[in-house]
Structure 1
Amino acid sequence: MVIDAVVAFFILGVFCRLVGANISFPENLYKSLSMFLMVAIGLKGGLALQEHIDPSLLIMSLMVIAFGLLLPLVAYPLLRYFGQLDRINAGAVAAHYGSVSVATYAVAVALLEANNIRYEAYFPLFVVLLEMPAILVGLVLAKGSMKVINANFIKKELLANQSILLMVGSLLIGYYGGLSVQKLSPFFIELFSGILALFLLKMGLVAGEQLSELKKNSLFLISFGILMPMIGGIAGTGLGVILGFSAGGVALMAVLGASASYIAVPAAMKESLPEANAGMSITASLGITFPFNVLLGVPFFIALGQYLQG
């Protein structure tokens, strides 16, 4: 079996951590790579939208937002009643699984492009739209009240959210920048796979650290970290088929439904739910779900998309 070279860097990172290798990865470099991926995804989407803008995009966007609102409502009862988590932690974890992982999306895009599988140009917009709904629902579930959604929260977590600002801003630059955007291609487009490989090396190192935390958590957390991506992924597959996406588009919609946030949502939860167990959410999303998706979930949903739309 041939493993994609980009994905192999994630495996390398996990292996290095498991054998105790002291791999030094500067924190500032990790942040820079993360910012690069957000900007590159936005620019690629904006460039593609120049030629593929669709009037039905508004309806699709509303359905995607509804999808993002629904996912934490599915995750919450599983966490609350089967996992026996308290309301605060169940809401916090559910928010992680309703939001998206930019890195998982980037892996899916890299695999689709490596295999010349077409996908719709507007998916970066969907990535942005799925960042926030789950955070809002998760907080309401955790607090049991709509009062947590106030003007200050919206300003800090929506208008000043780094992921949203970078991806939306880059998408608009890519769309309105015209031919001038092409001069950015050598850096943001052609180097995308190489930067993603370095980012996944870092993610492998972090995931390797999180694996040790699994010894401290119940079997339920491991089961949930695999089951919930499959539920979200199958639901995303169905939504992609309903919306008439191509094979690649169906796969990406599935990946968005299957992924779990470990950047935007943890920051929001730390600010709004400081009493929640952050280690539990990160262990589930980054220690279980991210490796599962990178190694098995993404290839599965790409194959499923090709089968359904073949």
Structure 2
Amino acid sequence: MIDIIIQNLLSPVVLFFVLGILAAIVKSDLKFPSGLSEGLSIYLLIAIGIKGGIELSHYSIGSVIKPIMATLFLGILIPIITLMIGRPMKLDLKNAIGLAATYGSISIVTYGAAISFLEKNGTSYEGFMNAMVVIMESPAILVSIFLLKMIEKNNASPSLSSQGIGIVPLSVRMIDKDVIRESIFGKSIFLLIGSLGIGVVLGEQAVPAVKPLFMDLYNSVLVLFLLNMGIVAGQRLPEVKKHGIKLLVFGLITPLCFGMLGVLLGSMIGLSLGGTTLMGVLAGSASYIAAPAALKASVPEANPSIYLGLSLGVTFPLNLIVGIPFYYQLSQMIQI
């Protein structure tokens, strides 16, 4: 286990992320232009989506139905559990919803780092797992907003410490059409779903056109993106600390617990060592692209320094350094 962690620490993606954090701590003037930062995000979204679509085109629906159902299950269950955890943490409802959406959704870059980790270790994985990234991206956002509307409609107290979620009659009106549009047609999910669809339709015939940019250069672009994310994460660390030790414990413990759940579920549905590891990564990571974008529009009262600072400043580096090798080691133990 120690050897795997050291190996992951010495990978370029992790070291450049650490370099970014150091730049923020020492207040270096190193920064990425906003246009370049957004461009790197768009690149990663397209790369993961189209690779997932091409891989998915190789499989029949019958062969991927179990992973799809397992992924949707995690995308629904994790935000509910996160919302319930908000009770002893004494978070108000809106901030608890922010955490539920963020931790129920996934980190594309963490997933990309996990792919690099598996390739470095010579571990194969099911190609359709790239498609699971897209499938798990939006359910948690929709479920979290739906839970918010349910609680508000039930005239619940705004404090989770004194309320239950309750059950109220389901109604389409509980979710505003603008929320649905933001969750499904926001640029992150739109690019992922669109790229996935293009990959599925074109299959292998898309490879000659996309391979030089979106496959061959993927790991190098990921290094640049993680350097930028390190700078942002370092800047947000003080924001997380001022909200108390309970949030820090949440950001350190719950991702590993969710990741263990993902690993167990991946093993139960018969995924390989690599596929099971990636299912753990999907469950254990937290979004800082799609979920924050949707929350900003639909739950503006939620404090970004809590859900974004925690996911980017605590859980993201935790998964890069400890989480990925931990899910890999756990997957090995379960499959023995």
With normalisation by structure 2, the TM-score equals 0.87
User: How large is the Cα RMSD of the aligned pairs?
Assistant: 1.7
Over the matched positions of the two proteins, sequence identity in percent amounts to 40
Deviation at 1:70, TM superposition (A): 0.3
The alpha carbon displacement at 1:131 in A equals 1.4
Q: Which amino acid aligns with 1:208?
A: G
Correspondence for 1:73: 80
Q: Equivalent residue of 2:216, what SS?
A: coil
Match 2:35 to one of 23, 28, 34: 28
- 1:199 aligned to 2:225? yes
Amino acid at match of 1:276: A
The equivalent residue for 1:46 is: 53
C-alpha change, 1:148 and 1:209, in structure 2 (3 Å) is farther
Partner Cα separation in structure 1 for residue 174 and residue 306 of structure 2 = 22
Higher alpha-carbon deviation: 217-226 or 60-69: 60-69
* 2: CA distance, partners of 1:103 / 1:162: 16
AA paired with 1:55? G
What does 1:1-150 align with in structure 2 at a 5 Å threshold? 1-2=6-7, 3-53=10-60, 55-79=62-86, 81-143=87-149, 144=151, 145=153, 147-150=173-176
Q: Which residue is 2:193 aligned to?
A: 168
Aligned pairs for 1:216-231 (under 5 A) are 216-231=242-257
Could you tell me which of 259, 271, 280 is aligned with 1:233? 259
Question: Can you list the C-alpha shifts for 1:133-169, whole angstroms capped at 9, x where unaligned?
Answer: 21122223334146441434323321x1222221222
Q: From 272, 280, 283, give the equivalent of 1:257.
A: 283
Give the match for residue 155 of structure 1.
181
Kindly state the Cα deviation for residue 97 of structure 1 after the two structures are TM-superposed. Answer: 0.7
User: Which deviations, in whole Å up to 9, do the C-alpha atoms of 1:257-285 show, x marking residues without a partner?
Assistant: 00111111111111111112122111111
Separation of aligned partners in 2, 1:258 and 1:275: 25
Question: Given residue 124 of structure 1, which amino acid in structure 2 is its aligned partner?
Answer: N
How far does residue 180 in structure 1 lie from its aligned partner after superposition?
4.0
Q: Secondary structure at the match of 1:275?
A: coil
Deviates more, 1:39-48 or 1:279-288: 39-48
C-alpha spacing 1:116/1:72, structure 2 compared with 1 (3 Å)? same
Greater displacement, 170-179 / 259-268: 170-179
Describe the SS at the equivalent of 2:137: coil
Counterpart secondary structure, 1:245: coil
Report the residue type matching 2:74 in the other structure.
F
Q: Give deviations 1:8-50, integer Å, cap 9, x for gaps.
A: 1111111111122110211111111111111111222223234
Query: 2:161 matched to which residue of 1?
Result: none
1:293 Cα offset (Å):
0.7
Return the letter of the residue paired with 1:197.
Answer: V
CA–CA distance in structure 1, aligned partners of residues 206 and 111 of structure 2: 26
Which of the residues 174, 191, 213 maps onto 2:239?
213
